[in-house]
Structure 1
Amino acid sequence: MRQRNRLAIAAVLTCTAALTAGCGGSATNEPSAALEGRGPITFVAGKDEESVNPKIVEAWNKAHPDEQVRFIELSSSADDQRQQMVQNAQTKSDAFTVLDLDNVWTAEFAANRWITELPREQFGIDQFVPTTVETSLYRDRLYGVPATSDGAMLYFRKDLLAKAGAQPPTTWDEMRQVCDKVLALPEAAGMSCFAGQYEKYEGLTVNFAEAVHGAGGVITDPSGKPNVNTPEAKRGLDALIDGFRSGTIPREAITYKETETRRAFMEGKILFSRAWPSQYSHAVKTDGSSGVAGKFDVAPLPGVAGPGVSSLGGHSLAISSFAKNKATAVDFIKFATAPEQQRLRLDQGSLAPTRSALYDDPSMQAKYPYLPLLKRSIEGAEPRPRVVKYGEVTDVIQEHAYAALRGEKSSEQALADLQARLQELTGQQ
């Protein structure tokens, strides 16, 4: 049912998004006419801590002296990255060629004709995890090639759970019960139970969506209409609010982004953490930077009403409609999304692959035992709202969810206000 809902949402929301933006038929640049020209290009992406993208560019440049790629590194903030890419598109500048797009930006960029439609047959799309491809489509046309994905996992202290005779939880109630047992141990003195990302930024949208979906609710229904003012969504938001009130989630977590969550877990301040696979590469380090190396494991996210549901993260590579040398850009995208480059991203940054075969490779599973779990997380993940005005939509989600977590609004008021604003932004009552 969840897979059918995703496909229904993709089909309806993208058509609705086009109407909201006042867009008509296909993009101005047809692939046969647009993907021409060879020569130097640029590759634009956010800053990554492991500097994987510069290494991919370096490898390409060594093999293509006449078609050099210049890497343009943007901020590490997703919000800042989007703003810079939008500004470049609005001025119709050719400064950006290949764009590393967060998968929730696809509808906005495609509907506004800022990126070029890509020919499916050239990229072997059937070799990718289906959910990652869905987020690269707009009106059932391909506008990006999935380069990385992301599915959240529950990181936990396996040493402390074993000491208490406990198993990883599958629900929030079970997690609280496990914490009561484990935190009573002398070895767990001073620890808190759980943390995710609750600062007022994109991570809050992700965590709010996971709480809502994990309680059986939705932000938008299968027809594309906002439907967040429901008992199920309230139950999800209340779980976060109650977590802060009870101390299950430490008070300081209201300021946590991914880095702060990772540090809290690696420094032994929290028993459980909700995090992307990128946390894994840091937590396993034995150079003294991690206090949990050899002491942790991962499990599926717990949910409020049952097993949890991850938000679908990840990035696709797209081509700016205003760029030159698009034929070179096509070849660079093929290179940058090839199995070898996806292995590099996994090896050096714990960035989830998008190609199915890498998850099923026994040699990869031996090296990364969490891959089967990660694949299930991604296959069962739900996308954030795929709308043309995503920047405004995520801002209002953050605004009202943050107010509720800080106790400035009740969950009822926050969800009612959020529902009203989403209806305004999507044009659907």
Structure 2
Amino acid sequence: MRQRRHSRQILLGTAALTISVLALTGCGGSSESGGEAEQQQDAAAAFEGRGPINYVSSRDASGAAQDSIDKWNAEHPDEQVTFIELPDSADQQRQQLVQNAQIESDTFSVLNLDVVWTSEFAANRWILPLPEDALPTESMIPATVEAASYRDTLYGAPYYTDGALLYYRTDLLEAAGVNAPPTNWEEMTAACEKVLALPEAADMSCYAGQFDKNEALTVNFTEAVGSAGGQVFDAEGNPTVDTPEALAGLTQLTEAFEKGLVPSDAITYLEEQGRRAFQEGELVFLRNWPFVYSSLTATDGSSDVVDKFGISAVPGIGDNPGVSTLGGRNLAVSPFTENKATALDFIKFFTSEEESKARLDKSSRAPVYPSLLEDTAVVEERPFYPTLLESLENAQPRPKVVQYGATTTAIQEEAYAALTGEKTPEQALADMQAKLEELSAE
């Protein structure tokens, strides 16, 4: 066995070696030849090896994923699955997954990947193409299958899908005389002025998204641009952030910080920090994903907003409707794991409609099966699903590019510089456009 390491600390200890490997290793995958593709297909058709495997994912706050793993382990005593937990930060998750692949370690078996990493991991041969009949893709939302594919080949198993939602305090809006959730930033600002004037809203802030220099910032920036009527890349894959619409979107965010509508510490927020702030009664409005719903509705005393919040679509800017970034996750098999047959069978089990429905008891992750999104009993327990479907219908994908790591880094750096006042929005977008054009030309 190569480098069987079950400790994240040991894995992190290889960082220095990995950085050297990264410096010396080219991407190469984007020029994959037909012969290489056929070899990958042959590998996919020969999923062999049974025994223990490791499932690698971000933290399972709800415990729903662990329930599925426990069920599998009870039925497969010789093919136990161990959960290896990665950091909350998407960028740190990706970094560790890339490091593991670059040194061809067999520590990671089944990878939980953000949908935007599929092209990069597939092109670099860090994940295996799946057999055509491995999954019931005809029963899944088509967009989730597309997001799990590269060059018309399925590389991932759609796990869950995501669209952004706006969580808001119904009790405070009602007390302030605001009768409906805002449809745009102007209405949200006006509502906040009324709410924050209430004695019970003392020390609260208006709004927060996720603004740390991380993948979450790419998402929030992309949504702001889309909600102002623009787009980060056009249909041909050309960067388009040197537009009035992109400027309107970024300016909306920078002014929200400058005017105090967004708390200053939100510059460090990821999804969990925002969830806690809203759950603890510190925010009137929160942009986040569906998964926080379970925590917000918890009746164990951990949530201060039970029965006090509503959910709507993210706000637009000006006359434009709010636009969500398409989110979600796929599960994929590492080519370096020894027990590929077990890994594939576990993915089939874990992403099945039956297990997806079972996890809804604990998790608010949106399933990739339309039948569940439309199920009367499910919607009764998850009344925000119709709103989520609206969000998904208006959603825009992030750039589906092989060099996604460099692309998202460029977006984050310039958007963050604008939010922190290091650059004006105009300068940040001009610099972002130049960086993205350079990457597109490579």
TM-score by length of 2: 0.88
Q: Distance in 1 between matches of 2:326 and 2:376?
A: 25
Question: After superposition, where does 1:145-224 map in structure 2 within 5 Å?
Answer: 145-163=157-175, 164-224=177-237
Query: Does 2:325 match 1:311?
Result: yes
Aligned mates of 1:239, 1:324 — CA distance in 2: 50
Which aligned pairs between 1:213-252 and structure 2 lie closer than 5 A? 213-252=226-265
Cα deviation, residue 115, structure 1: 1.1
Please say which of residues 142-151 and 86-95 is displaced more in the overlay.
86-95
The alpha carbon displacement at 1:317 in A equals 0.7
In structure 2, C-alpha distance between the alignment counterparts of 1:267 and 1:332, rounded to whole Å: 37
Task: Describe the shift of the 1:380–1:34 C-alpha distance in structure 2 as closer, same or farther (beyond 3 A).
Answer: farther
The residue number in structure 1 matching 2:116 is 104
Alpha-carbon shift at residue 280 of structure 1 (Å): 1.2
**Residues 1:255 and 2:268 are matched in the alignment:** yes
Q: Deviations over 1:215-271 (max 9, x none)?
A: 111111100111111111111001101111222222222222222212221222221
Aligned to 1:7: none
Where does 1:22-61 land on structure 2 (aligned, <5 Å)? 22-25=31-34, 26=37, 28-30=39-41, 33-61=45-73
| Aligned alpha-carbon RMSD (Å) | 2.0
Q: Secondary structure at the match of 1:173?
A: helix
Candidates 308, 314, 323, aligned match of 2:337 = 323
Deviation at 1:372, TM superposition (A): 1.7
Task: Map residues 284-363 of structure 1 onto 2, 5 A cutoff.
Answer: 284-305=297-318, 306-363=320-377
Worse-superposed segment, 341-350 or 243-252 = 341-350
Unpaired runs of 5+ residues, structure 1, are: 1-17
Alpha-carbon offset, residue 121 of structure 1: 2.9
1:93 aligned to 105, 110, 115, which one? 105
* In structure 1, distance between residues paired with 2:275 and 2:223: 18
Report the CA distance between 1:19 and its aligned residue. Answer: 8.5
Counterpart-to-counterpart distance in 1, 2:28 and 2:289:
34
Structure 2 residue corresponding to 1:125, chosen from 126, 129, 137: 137
* Equivalent pair of 1:27/1:113 in contact (CA under 8 Å): no
Q: 1:6 — aligned with what?
A: none
* Cα distance between partner residues in 2 of 1:20 and 1:91: 16
Contact 1:147 1:353 in 2 (8 A): yes
Change over 3 Å in CA distance of 1:184–1:254 after alignment to 2? same
- TM-score w.r.t. the length of structure 1 is 0.90
Residue 20 of structure 1 and its aligned partner are, at CA, apart by: 8.2
Aligned partners of 2:244 and 2:30: how far apart in 1? 31
More displaced, 63-72 or 410-419?
A: 63-72
Distance 2:178 2:188 in 1: 14
Shift of 1:27: 6.1
Aligned to 1:141: 153
Give a deviation string over 1:36-77, Cα, whole Å, max 9, x none.
333333222222223333322221121122333233222232
In 2 relative to 1, CA 224–19 (structure 1 residues): closer, same or farther, beyond 3 Å?
farther
Measured against aligned partners, the alpha-carbon deviations of 1:262-295 in whole angstroms (never above 9, x if no partner) come to: 2221222221110111221111123322221111
**Structure 2 letter corresponding to 1:239:** Q
Moved more, 47-56 or 30-39: 30-39
CA distance in 2, matches of 1:91, 1:190: 49
1:15 matched residue in structure 2: none
What corresponds to 2:387 in structure 1?
A: 373
SS at match of 2:50: coil
Percent sequence identity over matched residues?
53
Looking at structure 2, the residues matched to 65 and 245 of structure 1 have their Cα atoms a distance apart, in angstroms, of 57
Alignment partner of 1:235: what SS?
helix
Name the amino acid aligned to 1:355: Y
2:266 is paired with a residue whose SS is helix
Q: 1:125 to 1:65 in 2, by over 3 A?
A: same
1:326-347, CA deviations, whole angstroms, 9 ceiling, x for partnerless residues?
2222211110001232234332
5+ long unaligned stretches in structure 2: 1-26
Q: SS of 1:122's equivalent?
A: coil
Give 1:161's aligned amino acid.
Answer: L
> Taking structure 1 as reference, are residues 20 and 118 closer, same or farther at Cα in structure 2, changes over 3 Å only?
closer
Query: Is structure 2 residue 428 aligned with structure 1 residue 419?
Result: no
Q: Distance in 2 between matches of 1:165 and 1:409?
A: 36
Check conservation: 1:45, 1:99, Cα contact below 8 A.
yes
CA contact 1:29–1:321 (8 Å) conserved in 2: no
> What is the number of residues matched between the two proteins?
411
